[in-house]
Amino acid sequence: MKINKEEFQNVNWYTLTNDNNFSVTISTLGATVVAVNTPDKKGNVENIVLGFDDPQDYPNHNDYFGTSVARVAGRIKDGQWRDYQFDQNEGINTLHGGSKPSLSYVNWKKISKFIRQEEVGLVLKRFSIDGENGFPGDLTIDVIFRLNNRNEFSITYIGHTSKQTLFNPTNHMYFNLSGNAKRSIKQHQIQLESDVIAEVDAELIPTGNLLNVDNTPYDLHATTAIGSVLEQIEDGIDTAFKVEPSIEAPQLTLEDPESGRKVRVQTSANAISLFTTKEPHEPFKIHGDQDMDANIGLAIEPQMLPDAIHHSGFGNIIISPSKPMMYRNVYYLN
């Protein structure tokens, strides 16, 4: 078990490595997962998440590559809650906490790191002042990254606030299990324990209805090739799937048969949002020399159902001074 540190001009990268040659690299900018390196069935170790080799590339793109998204992941209708007006950064709505800048593109402070017999970890902190991006309350967010010798990578978000506010964070990793994004994700196999999805309007804002997935492309109870799902959905996947919160059993499995790599995802939240990459408006490179493209990655975003504050039954994302809130997501790497 070890931790290595790389220092750049204004950003530090920390690489957590276990005894099985699995490693995770975390950037202080946006509490971002830069890389998750795992071996394929032949033992070749490669990165299975999308990102950049140069830290300076991250602020130049607004695709949230591996970033921590806070205060609130997903969309908020009209950017409003009670008498508060949030930063409206997607038309009249708020997306991923706003953009002045959002917490995904600011530096977080390293609090501690730890190396134990069976796990290695890093703790980052961000203090978001009352009124930042329109959100009330001084909010302190601690994020704990852990990698253990069972090849389990976990991300835990803990929020404390000075007054009632909203807290629904996630990590926005895009997965491609082929390694270094050398193939599309169409041949990846996905299985997801979800009976319903959140219906959305033309602006991708939830209507409040939960739609049964039976006899639709969104029925992923049985293992399904992503390519076959995409053939039935014109604009790609951009969908919140309701799941049963769990601290024991993974709700989602993603596998690439060719490389033999597999990731299982478990969350204590009540939804997993999936998003397949779109063709960029202007071409750019990831991993140094790979072209960013449609269907080159699948974003897996464990979170509470989006726009929960406007829909009964979507879950509670209101945090108060007397009730800190915690979310834990675990990625089982094979």
Catalytic residues: 172, 301
Question: How many C-beta atoms surround the C-beta of residue 334 within 10 A?
Answer: 15
Question: How many C-beta atoms surround the C-beta of residue 142 within 10 A?
Answer: 18
Residue with tokens 């991006």: 133
Give the list of residues 6+ apart from residue 59 with CB closer than 8 angstroms, or none: 29, 105
Amino acid at 167: F
CA pair distance 252, 299, nearest whole angstrom: 12
CB 157 within 8 A of CB 70: yes
CB 137 within 8 A of CB 155: no
Residue with tokens 């140094």: 288
**Token couple for 177:** 């299990």
**Token couple for 194:** 């979800």
